[in-house]
Amino acid sequence: MLTIHGVGRSRAFRCIWTAEEAGIPYEHVPTRVGPEAKAPAHLAINPNGKLPGMTDGALNLFESLAINLHIAGKAGAPLMPEAGDDAARTLQWTLWTATEAEPHAMAWRNHAVSLPAAERDPAVAEAAKAALHQRLGVLEAQLADRPWLLGRDFTVADCNLAGVLYVLWFNRFDLGAFPRVAAWLEACLTRPAALKARRLRED
């Protein structure tokens, strides 16, 4: 049985959402950040001592977006496009998510919203916002002629990017200059599978 380790208030949220989209049987073990994630049982799955981790038979995986690619691969198309151009685009957007979007989204969330006020650095928040505006412009153009990132089908590329941009959406980052991104993000995060995963972190 595929098992996702990590509380819903961690990046495990993305993997639970993807498993729900995939419609595959899975178990959820709500391992918490801190001592539980640093315990030998969890380190055997994710040696970084972080969340999430995933087990599936003999396979142990870490990195939430890689876990999502594995889960989507079990479901097949359309969630995971078949080998070819759209499979390459799925990898492209997943790596873009990890390298171009997530560092700035987290920096903005931390320094505009999450850190205790005394630890926030407005300059870091402003720089992250500027970097996000450049990336969101790229995304706005991509969405000019399509409802989902790759075209007419919702895929794991949407799950990965919207799962990361969730922190902007939830914390009301101003998307006024990016109406297509705003509509796409709303559509992604209100899908029934996303709502189910969101309940684990928002309730």
Ligand X SMILES: N[C@@H](CCC(=O)N[C@@H](CS)C(=O)NCC(=O)O)C(=O)O
Q: How far is the CB of 38 from ligand X (least distance, A)?
A: 8
Nearer to ligand X, 180 or 198 (CB): 198
Nearer to ligand X, 49 or 151 (CB): 49
Q: Is 56 helix (H, G, I), strand (E, B) or coil?
A: strand
Provide the binding-site residues for ligand X, judged by CB under 6 A.
Answer: 10-11, 33, 37, 49-52, 63-64
Nearer to ligand X, 50 or 74 (CB): 50
Nearer to ligand X, 43 or 177 (CB): 43
Q: How far is the CB of 18 from ligand X (least distance, A)?
A: 12
- Closest residue to ligand X, judged by C-beta, is 50
Q: What angle do CA 68, 159, 91 make, to 5 degrees?
A: 65
Q: How far is the CB of 72 from ligand X (least distance, A)?
A: 15
Q: How far is the CB of 51 from ligand X (least distance, A)?
A: 4
